[in-house]
Amino acid sequence: VKQIVQCVPNFSEGRRKDVIDSIVAAMSGTPGAQVLDTQSDPDHNRSVVTLVGAPQPVMGAVFHGIAKAAELIDMRHHRGTHPRMGAADVVPLVPVRNVTLDDCAALARQLGDRVGTELGIPVYLYESAAIRPDRRNLADIRRGEYEGLSKEIATDPDRFPDFGPPSMGAAGATAIGARFPLVAFNVYLNTSDIATAKTIARAVRYSSGGLRCVKALGMLVEGQAQVSMNLTNYRVTPIHRALELIRAEADRLGVTVTRSEVVGLVPAEALLDAAKFYLQLHDFHPDQVLENRLTDDGSDDE
Amino acid sequence: VKQIVQCVPNFSEGRRKDVIDSIVAAMSGTPGAQVLDTQSDPDHNRSVVTLVGAPQPVMGAVFHGIAKAAELIDMRHHRGTHPRMGAADVVPLVPVRNVTLDDCAALARQLGDRVGTELGIPVYLYESAAIRPDRRNLADIRRGEYEGLSKEIATDPDRFPDFGPPSMGAAGATAIGARFPLVAFNVYLNTSDIATAKTIARAVRYSSGGLRCVKALGMLVEGQAQVSMNLTNYRVTPIHRALELIRAEADRLGVTVTRSEVVGLVPAEALLDAAKFYLQLHDFHPDQVLENRLTDDGSDDE
């Protein structure tokens, strides 16, 4: 059975095109791993690359990217509005198909070991790959950013890395972790009143009493109120549940949903779950999706 | 770009397991073609096999199946409740991915030529592969079944085959065609009153004024009223539109939908269309589905 993982490394360079291209090139051309997307933000001075493929090829490709970033980015001169502590700043591994979150955590630790040992970069394991509970949250690891961590890494035992040396070079430190696929899901309302969007966002998000795996903000996009969400685990909090709660709250406030959008990529399963919910397909099995029955070579060996 | 077609040959044997197994074996083992499913009905005395894969391998595999059926089934002795005219009775080619219905029509004609020439079986092209307008409808071709067609094929020019000889051997005749994937979609109601299901079926089906690509019957399944449907083109009449019409009619009659079911296989696109409708994802693009972005070998050459 073919395994597929996704890796979304964040690099601390969003302005110099030649540097970004070199890092992406270092991750391309590994058979079995595929660069799907690169997005660079000059203000953040940061690029986010999406890699997918079989576990070991993806691990090899992202290692080459981390090495190239360490070679070309000097964190002592890096400026940008996004928090950061390393040239390869954050490297999450994400399960896509026939892979568990635990599998991805094991891969993250394997990659962390290699980055620490072979590249001499301090590595912190985060989220589901964390081996210290105080390192599950990325923000806690990145506290003080490159400059603050440089001062404390050698002397504060709480800041010793999980792999690699307790000292910061020009490449800084890298957080490597495992997490579930994020779904960026936005819902537009038939109003230009941002307060309405903020009220609904408060109702739906976990931090103020809403759904377990929803982060939400109310904002105004081209004059239209929008509830902007990150669904951090669509298996626990599915898309349709977030939308139905928004529809109920919108109704109470006398507004309606005009449309919604998924930003970027979404696993097929998250949308099939929505179809199952709305069509009341209670006993539907993923094997009934024709494409899920195709083996990669079309042969009969499944 | 990888092309995938589906072929669903119907063979006139649903009782003798050794015969069915031999026909399926003849279609297995072709690299690039895969037998997904075999369903045999003893009352119909008929088996339906689902093959998928690249066009030419599927064509090769199904040709071997037709040849084996002609060798093992003698239509002069065939009895069953389902209309039939040949050992390989009906062979529809169905587009799945990166293939059009016209492509499948061309494949059907190519296969028909080969079956007529190499196996000496009369072949009729039907539905989207038909080259005579009076042969689009399978029921018109199969009129009189094996026995009736045997009498008329040599003498009635309207019944001359499109390929192969105008004479019937023990293998009978074969209809080869191209059609869109069928979706078998059933909706259950919270009543045991079959009349309610029949009333709703009449409202939703094309033949009595309903939706263009819906065939529907009202029936009782384990004491529960069911609207049983075949959606003959889910791009023209999507699943959600059929369901919403049923919900509206059910509401008028004071009943509700308790659940629905898809029987057998369904293309992912049909369910993604439902998710898009109910989530109001107006601008969603299939490329945003992560799995749709994966090349078969995981390489970067897309």
Which DSSP helix (H) or strand (E) runs through B227? Answer: strand B224-231
Which amino acid type is present at position A99? V
**Whether the complex's predicted ipTM surpasses the cut of 0.90:** no
Q: How would you classify the pairing of strands A4-7 and A10-11? A: unpaired
Contacts of A255 in chain B (CB under 8 A): none
**pLDDT value of residue A264:** 85
pLDDT of A1 > 80? The answer is: no
- 3-state SS assignment for residue A75: helix
- 3-state SS assignment for residue A192: coil
Calculate mean pLDDT across residues A248-266.
95
Contacts of B32 in chain A (CB under 8 A): 297-299
Q: Does B264 touch chain A (CB under 8 A)?
A: yes
- 3-state SS assignment for residue A4: strand
Contacts with B, A 3-62, CB within 8 Å: 4, 6, 28-29, 31-36, 52-54, 57
Which amino acid type is present at position A110? Q
**pLDDT value of residue B301:** 32
Out of B82, B240, B282, B285, the active site residue is B82
pLDDT band for A200, please (50, 70, 90 cuts): very high
The residue of chain B nearest to residue A185, with distances taken between CA atoms, is B281
CB pairs under 8 A between A and B: 166
Contact A92, A6 (CB under 8 A): no
What whole-number distance in Å separates Cα of residue A302 and Cα of residue A292? 11
- Nearest CA-CA partner of B270 in A271, A243, A277: A271
For A262, which of B6, B34, B288 is closest by C-beta distance? B288
Task: Tell me how long chain B is.
Answer: 302
User: How many CB atoms lie under 10 A from the CB of residue A231?
Assistant: 26
* Catalytic site includes residue B285: no
pLDDT of B90 > 80? The answer is: yes
Angle between helices B268-279 and A239-252 (to 10 degrees): 20
Q: Does A256 touch chain B (CB under 8 A)?
A: no
What whole-number distance in Å separates Cα of residue B138 and Cα of residue B90? 9
User: How many CB atoms lie under 10 A from the CB of residue A81?
Assistant: 12
- Nearest CA-CA partner of A228 in A220, A240, A216, A241: A216
What whole-number distance in Å separates Cα of residue B252 and Cα of residue B249? 5
- Nearest CA-CA partner of A257 in A205, A207, A187: A187
The residue of chain B nearest to residue A300, with distances taken between CA atoms, is B34
Q: Do A266 and B290 make contact, defined as CB atoms within 8 angstroms?
A: yes
Angle at CA A137, nearest 5°, toward A35 and A274? Answer: 60
- Nearest CA-CA partner of B176 in B116, B134, B265, B102: B116
- Nearest CA-CA partner of A91 in A170, A179, A27, A154: A179
Q: Which residues pair with B51 in a beta bridge?
A: B7, B35
Which DSSP helix (H) or strand (E) runs through A156? Answer: none
- 3-state SS assignment for residue B18: helix
pLDDT digits (tens, 9 = 90+) for B3-61: 999 999 999 999 999 999 999 999 998 999 999 989 999 999 999 999 999 999 999 99
pLDDT band for B109, please (50, 70, 90 cuts): very high
Which DSSP helix (H) or strand (E) runs through B212? Answer: none
Contact A78, A67 (CB under 8 A): no
pLDDT digits (tens, 9 = 90+) for A68-116: 999 999 999 999 989 999 999 999 999 988 899 999 999 999 999 999 9
Out of A82, A240, A282, A285, the active site residue is A82
pLDDT digits (tens, 9 = 90+) for B92-101: 999 988 899 9
Contacts with B, A 101-160, CB within 8 Å: none
- 3-state SS assignment for residue A280: coil
Q: Do A271 and B275 make contact, defined as CB atoms within 8 angstroms?
A: yes
Min Cα separation A264/chain B (Å): 6
What whole-number distance in Å separates Cα of residue B263 and Cα of residue B244? 19
